[in-house]
Amino acid sequence: MSPLIQLHDITKTYITGETTLLALNHVNLTINEHELVAIVGESGSGKSTMLHTLGLLDKPTSGSYLLNGKEVAKLNDDELSSLRNLKMGFAFQAFFLLPRFDAIHNVMLPLLYRGVNLNESKERALQILDKLSMTKFKYQRPNQMSGGQQQRVAIARALIGNPDIVFADEPTGALDSKTSKEIIDVFIKLYEEEKKTVIMVTHDIKIALQCRRMITVKDGKIVNDVRDEERKA
């Protein structure tokens, strides 16, 4: 069976005026199903760029990206949208909830774009909100919730479509340490109990150490890639 994700010689260049910046510098990376991966590195090292590329939100300048053994460079925008919708879930530092819609509507969005009808979407959104102990906030809009609550809603939205991979870019970056711990526990549970692949960018070394695999990025290059087993050894 082919690995879940295979990056081969991926580069990403940003050209701003005269300067050219290599945000991803010939990256090779393999991630299997059911992994819990932390991506760490200095600010500006290319962590987010890597996560966005993996999450099909951004396109690499060159190289090959096989998702479930299939080259994604050949896919058009609509096929990429479908893949994100069916296989991926996202959580960001800034939550990225729709400000004009309440928690339920934010959570059910991926299902609506999948063509699931309104009632079923609502029902499933309620179930997932309940699972994240957010039932109380179902009719609240983002500006009526705390950061931790908003992140839970964002995670509920990431999970409602039952994705294979959950991407998180500094999901606790805007939260205090107690709330951070609760949110990280949600991701660890996802990995342990629901057997999902979780890929998380973080600044926090304590969080990174809780993950089974830690990838260190520097100047767009993977400089270190250790798994738990190796760390313990």
Partner 1 sequence: MNLKMHFRTAITNLNSTKLRSMLAALGILVGTASVVAMISGGQLASYQALQQFKALGTNLMSITINTASSSDSGDSSNLSSATTSSPVTVQEAINLKTASSDITSIAPYISLYQPMKFQGHTVSGTILGTTETLQNIMKLTMQEGRFVSLLDKNNYYCVIGQKIYTELKKYSLDPMGQQISIGSSIFTIIGILKDWTQNSFIYADLNQSVFVPINTAYIISSYAQIYNVILKLNEGTNITTLEQDITNYFNQNIPGKSLYFQSAAQILASMTSQQQILTAFLGFIGGISLLVGGIGIMNIMLVSVAERRQEIGIRLAVGAKKRDIQKMFLIEAVVLSFFGGIAGVLFGLTISFAIAIYQGWLFMIFYQPILLGFVVSVLTGIFFGFYPAYKASKLLPIETLRGIE
Ligand X SMILES: Nc1ncnc2c1ncn2[C@@H]1O[C@H](COP(=O)(O)OP(=O)(O)OP(=O)(O)O)[C@@H](O)[C@H]1O
- 48 is an interface residue for Mg ion by CB under 5 A: yes
* Contact call for residue 151 and Mg ion (CB under 5 A): no
Compute how many residues bind partner 1; rule: CB under 8 A.
Answer: 33
Nearest to partner 1 of 110, 147 (CB atom)? 110
Spell out, one character per residue from 109 to 138, where the chain touches partner 1: x when CB under 8 A holds, - when not. Answer: xx-xxxx-xx--------------------
C-beta of 23: minimal distance to ligand X in Å? Answer: 4
| Residue 96 is a binding residue for partner 1 (CB under 8 A) | yes
- Using alpha carbons, list the distances in angstroms from residue 166 to 5, 12, 97, 100: 13, 22, 16, 25
- Which secondary-structure segment (H or E) carries 7? strand 5-16
- Find the helix or strand (DSSP H, E) in which 37 lies: strand 36-41
Quick one: which segment of 27-35, 90-98, 196-204, 206-214 binds partner 1 (CB under 8 A)? 90-98
Tokens 């460079």 belong to residue: 73
Which residue has tokens 């767009």?
A: 220
Nearer to ligand X, 44 or 69 (CB): 44
The residue assigned the tokens 């102990």 is 133
Nearer to partner 1, 210 or 217 (CB): 217
Q: Quickly tell me which residue has 């991407």 as its tokens.
A: 167
Please pick, from the candidates 44, 69, 98, 133, the single residue that binds ligand X as defined by CB under 6 A.
44
- Residue among 50, 42, 52 at smallest CA distance from 11: 50
What does the alpha-carbon distance between residue 26 and residue 63 come to, in Å, rounded to a whole number? Answer: 8
Minimum CB–partner distance for residue 21 and ligand X (Å): 5
Cα gap 43→48, rounded to integer Å: 10
**Binding-site ranges for ligand X (CB under 6 A):** 14, 16, 21, 23, 41, 43-49
